Amino acid sequence: MTRSAALAAATEAIAHSGIRELADAATEVPGAIRLDVGQPDFATPAHIVEAAKQALDGGWTAYTPTQGLRSLRELIAAKIARVNGYPVGPDRVACGPGGVSAIAAAFGAVLEPTDEVLLPDPAWPNYELMAAWTHSRVVRYPCPPELGFLPDVERLRERITPRTKLLVVNSPNNPTGAVYPSETVRAIADLAEKHNLWLLSDECYDEIVHEGVTVSPAALVGDSRVISAYSFSKTYAMTGWRLGYVTGPSRLVDSVTKVLESQSSCAPSVSQKAAEAALAGPQDCVGEMRAAYRRRRDQVVDRLREAELLISVPRGAFYIMADVSPSGLSSRDFAFRLLRECSVSVAPGSAFGEVAARSVRISLASSEEDLAEGVGRLCHLVGELARDTA
């Protein structure tokens, strides 16, 4: 009898993203209200689409340098100076097919087997998937609701060991919408400096901030050990175009580029030309989408507060966490029941870690009408289940 060949144990053992689990199930429910994934309901702005059409007509269908077109990287450098507040040259920018690939390439460039990576709890589940195939060990640091989902810096400090190599920070945050104040960012950056760690700052929602400003670690302490990650997906409603980028010191970007060479050779050429138009063209579309997300945020905050399910008011990104603990169900069981009985799909908090295990994430990227109806059904189901268990 032929034996099955072995697979990489860590990759085989880890679960698929809990977000995708619900999103895939929702595709089987006709008419489901989709509040699960971070998919903007806006079309990609017309001037970006037109630039892509012109690029195709002009023959932009071939390979580009792995790091990305220099003309694009020059525009990215200008954007980072304007929006994120620190200088970087185009040679220290590497583009990948989506922010997820750029971040994954940074994991591959830094981590070796048995290294430890510090991840926030709650956190985007893809980080843990990346840690699995780099054969590194995940250690979580809490960002508890009583702190507004900001990192507990003291408890983070306690989790650093001689094997810690990479510290991941995410602001504006997915899933909580927390935006870290400068003192928190500096405290985390100082920890990375003191313990000789790489600091990966996921800033893919950098231009979706409702109050205050978002602070880049590289703007506070320089980028000698900071890896900063960005994406066109959320800012310009370009999720399907698959384009993101990272910056950092030259030796880091060189290693990231090697990983990207092995993964994809280069990001799609037509997407890069579209991204040039996104950065060089009018930015009104960014402000208009941001204003819409804030209106939706305020609408959902009011509804959850009325139902006594509000945990924290998000200050950025386009997500909000809702407390479903009165239902008596785990967040995963509640999410599937909400989908099955109410045709509403949300992401279970357990997909993001232990801290959010009794809550669900609602995406504010859906329309105001879908949010009003979907959040209303969610609140009704929680109340109904709470009465049943009383």
CA distance 122 to 356: 6
Tell me, yes or no, whether 214 and 104 share the same domain: yes
pLDDT one-digit tens code per residue, 286-300: 999 999 999 999 999
| Nearest alpha-carbon partner for 141 in 124, 129, 126, 159 | 159
Residue with tokens 């980080």: 127
- In the chain, the DSSP E strands lie at 33-34, 93-96, 116-121, 137-142, 164-170, 198-202, 226-231, 244-247, 319-323, 344-345, 347-348, 359-363
CA distance 324 to 313: 16
Tell me, yes or no, whether 184 and 54 share the same domain: yes
Query: Is 56 a member of any domain?
Result: yes
Q: Do residues 68 and 93 lie in contact, with contact meaning Cβ atoms separated by under 8 Å?
A: yes
Report how far Cα 268 is from the mean position of its chain's Cα atoms. 21
Domain end, chosen from 280, 296, 313, is at 280
CA distance 332 to 321: 14
Position 85 pLDDT exceeds 80: yes
Q: What is the mean pLDDT of residues 258-277?
A: 97
Position 62 pLDDT exceeds 70: yes
Tell me, yes or no, whether 158 and 202 share the same domain: yes
Position 335 pLDDT exceeds 90: yes
Reduced to 3 states, what is the DSSP secondary structure of residue 209? Answer: strand
What range defines the domain where residue 21 resides? 9-38+284-389
Q: What is the mean pLDDT of residues 328-350?
A: 97
If one counts the domains in the chain, the total is: 2
pLDDT one-digit tens code per residue, 145-183: 999 999 999 999 999 999 999 999 999 999 999 999 999
Tell me, yes or no, whether 329 and 209 share the same domain: no
For 164, phi then psi, to 5°, come to -70, 130
Q: What is the mean pLDDT of residues 131-153?
A: 97
Query: Is 1 a member of any domain?
Result: no
Tell me, yes or no, whether 227 and 336 share the same domain: no
- Mean pLDDT rounded to a whole number for the chain: 96
CA distance 203 to 228: 7
Tell me, yes or no, whether 139 and 247 share the same domain: yes
Q: Which two tokens stand for residue 315?
A: 């200050």
CATH of the domain at 299: 3.90.1150.10
Tell me, yes or no, whether 243 and 346 share the same domain: no
The pLDDT, as a whole number, for residue 223 is: 80
CATH of the domain at 81: 3.40.640.10
End-to-end CA distance of the chain: 57
Domain end, chosen from 280, 297, 328, is at 280
The pLDDT, as a whole number, for residue 299 is: 98
Tell me, yes or no, whether 106 and 214 share the same domain: yes
Q: Record the pTM.
A: 0.96
The pLDDT, as a whole number, for residue 315 is: 98
Tell me, yes or no, whether 319 and 207 share the same domain: no
Distances (CA, A) of 44 to 172, 272, 337, 370: 22, 14, 33, 20
Query: Is 181 a member of any domain?
Result: yes
Q: What is the mean pLDDT of residues 240-253?
A: 98
The pLDDT, as a whole number, for residue 1 is: 59
CA distance 129 to 127: 5
- Give the number of other Cβ atoms within 10 Å of residue 336's Cβ: 17
